[in-house]
Every structure is written in C-alpha cells, then in structure tokens.
Amino acid sequence: MMTGGTPRWAIGGALVLALGMSGCAGASSAGGDPGSGGKVTVGIKFDQPGLGLKNGDSFEGFDVEVARYVAKELGYTDVEFRETPSAQRETMLQSDQVKMIFATYSITDDRKKKVSFAGPYFIAGQDLLVSASASGITGPESLNGKKLCSVVGSTSAKKIKDTIANEVQLQEYDTYSKCVEALASGSIDAVTTDNVILAGFAAQPQYAGKLKVVGKPFSTERYGVGIKQGDTKLCTAINDALAKMVSDGSWQKALDDTVGTSGFTPDAATNPPKADACA
C-alpha cells in the first residue's frame, strides 16, 4: 500500500511541477510598451494609508493616484496593482513582475546600480508623529529621554540617536503600522520616518484627531518611479506625464485628497519637484 502510494505521489508532484513550468512559459509580462494600450502592472505599498493602501477591493493614496495618472498618460487602459515589499523592489522590476514602482521609493545611488528612476514626483523629509495631546515634543532635539519608534533597517531613527538626541530610546518594528499601534497605546512617545508617510497615518479616520505630525522635516527624501534599468524611453515618457500632472493641477489635487486631509502640507520650496534627466 505504501509502496503503491509513493509513485502516485511522485507522479502527482511531477505533474504539478510540469503544470507550473508550462504556466511559467505562458506567464504574461508586466505590461507592453507604452502607447500600446492594454494592462500594466504597477508596484505599490498596500499598507501605507494616504500613499498606497489596499482598502477592500480598491486602492487609494497619493502614490496610487500618481500611478493611475501616469499609466493613463502612457496609454494603458487598465492598471493592476501589486504589493512590492521594500526588500524586493529591485528584483520585482528585474523579473518583470511589475513595470513601474510607486512605493515611497527614494532615489539613491546604490539603488541606481540595479534599477533606473523616473521623477522624482515628491520630496519628503523625515519628521515625527506624536500623540495629538503631547505638547512636549517639538522636534528631534526634544526627544532625549523619550521613546522613539521606527522600522527595522531604516536610517531615520538611528540618525536622530547618533546626531541629535543621544538619550532617546529606540524601538524598532518590521512595519510602521506596529509603531503607530504602539504610539496609540501610549507605549512610545513618537514615530519617525518621512513626513508624508506619517501624515497618511494621521489622516486615517480611525486616528483622526488623535495623532499629529510635528512639521519640522530634517532631511530630504526624493521619491522616484522605479523602472527597469536603462529603459530611457519609459523614463522620459513618465517624466513627461509627471510634468503634465503638475501643470494641469492634478498633482496638487491628488495630494489634497489623500494625505492632505490631515492638514499636512508639503515643503513648498521643494514641491512639486522637477524631474531629473533620464540617464
């Protein structure tokens, strides 16, 4: 009975593998060339309110709005959103799982070794999120002796501890949502990351009136559109679309409708930004 069963399992496994492989050959790519119509797959975050959030069956946020606008300008009729975890953003572009990434993706030199960027479409700065009733924290200098939260593998919190407030205690979680939950329960005093991400949480209806962004950004993060390395044609097309989005007022409207509802206004000196030249 057992020996009779083994080959059956083996056959079943082989079949499944074969099916998988045939499915692989037929797998569609993330989207055709711009202007050819059809569907495009775009990578976003699913867990950043105000920027990229999966809300039921729909998606909402500033990143989502920019992605939709750009996709439409590029001639795509349909946009499919996929979640791109931070650590896999580069590989998901390289493996054609997504055509473009709009996911609070800061342009850095190290990342440019693997992918190219269009944009930037937004300039964020590191800031603090605190409880609305807290008056003691006015900026990173006032954090000594306080508890500060950020995500594992980000510079933001360490920079504060090393250079501004040496006596701050750092709590790190794998997601911002855990930091915000800890802030809401009073276990920590502040959350730090890019101001626009913090504003997104403060704008969530469940936290309305309970959390606020301090509003003194102290760094510069340039959010770009991640694309496959060397795709200059796509990069130029995206930059044109972004320029049009700013000039026809859609950029400002998208911002006001999403993160703006918490009263957040971005640094007007740098926003809306001019796109870099496509290399």
Partner 1 sequence: MSAASVLFDAPGPRARARHRVIAAAGVLALLGLLAFVVVRLADPANNQLTAEKWLPFLTPTAWTAYLLPGLGGTLLAAALSVLLSIVFGLLLGVGRLAPQRWLRWACGAFVEFFRSVPVLMMMLFAYYAGLFALRISGPLLPLFGVVVGLTVYNSCVLAELVRSGVNGLPAGQRESGLAIGLTPFQTLTEILLPQAITAMLPSMLSQLVVILKDSALGSMIAYLELLRSGTNLAVAFANLIPTLIVLAVIYIVLNSLLTRLAAAVEQRLRRGPRAIVTQSVTAGFVPGPAAEPDVPETIMPRPDDRPGRRREPRRPRG
Partner 2 sequence: MDGLATLLREYDVLAAFWMTVQLTAWGAVGALVVGTVVAVARVSPVGVLQRFGAWFVTLVRNTPLTLIVALCSLGIANTLKVQLAPADSPTFIVDNGFRWGVVALAVYHAAFVAEAIRSGINTVPAGQAEAARSIGLGFAATLRHVVLPQAFRGAIAPLGNTLIALTKNTTVVATVGVAEAAYLMRNMIEFNPSLLYAIFALLATGFVVLTLPMGLLFTWLSNRLGVHR
Residue 33, sorted as left (phi over 0), alpha (psi -120 to 50) or beta, turns out to be beta
Q: CB under 8 Å to 7, separation ≥6 — which residues?
A: none
Q: Is 169 in the site for partner 2 (CB under 8 A)?
A: yes
Residue 121 to residue 225: CA distance in whole angstroms: 8
Instruction: By CB under 8 A, tell whether 30 contacts partner 1.
Output: yes
133 is an interface residue for partner 1 by CB under 8 A? no
Phi and psi at residue 108, in whole multiples of 5°?
A: -135, 160
Task: Write phi, then psi, for 223 (nearest 5 degrees).
Answer: -80, 120
Contact pattern for partner 1 over residues 163 through 182, marking x by CB under 8 A: ------------x-xx--x-
Query: How far is the C-alpha of 120 from the C-alpha of 275, rounded, in Å?
Result: 5
Tell me if 147 contacts partner 1 by CB under 8 A. no
> Binding partner 1 by CB under 8 A: which of 77, 163, 206, 247?
206
114 binds, among partner 1, partner 2, none (CB under 5 to 8 A by kind): partner 2
**Binds partner 2 by CB under 8 A, chosen from 2, 21, 87, 277:** 87
Note whether 47 binds partner 2 by CB under 8 A.
no
Stretch near partner 2 under the rule CB under 8 A, chosen from 72-80, 116-124, 174-182, 232-240: 174-182
Using alpha carbons only, how large is the chain's radius of gyration in Å? 22
Within 84-194, residue ranges assigned H as helices are 89-94, 109-112, 156-159, 176-184
Instruction: List interacting residues with partner 1 (CB under 8 A).
Output: 1-3, 6, 9-10, 12-13, 16-17, 20, 23-24, 27-30, 46-49, 53-57, 82-85, 87-88, 91-92, 94-97, 175, 177-178, 181, 185-186, 204, 206-207
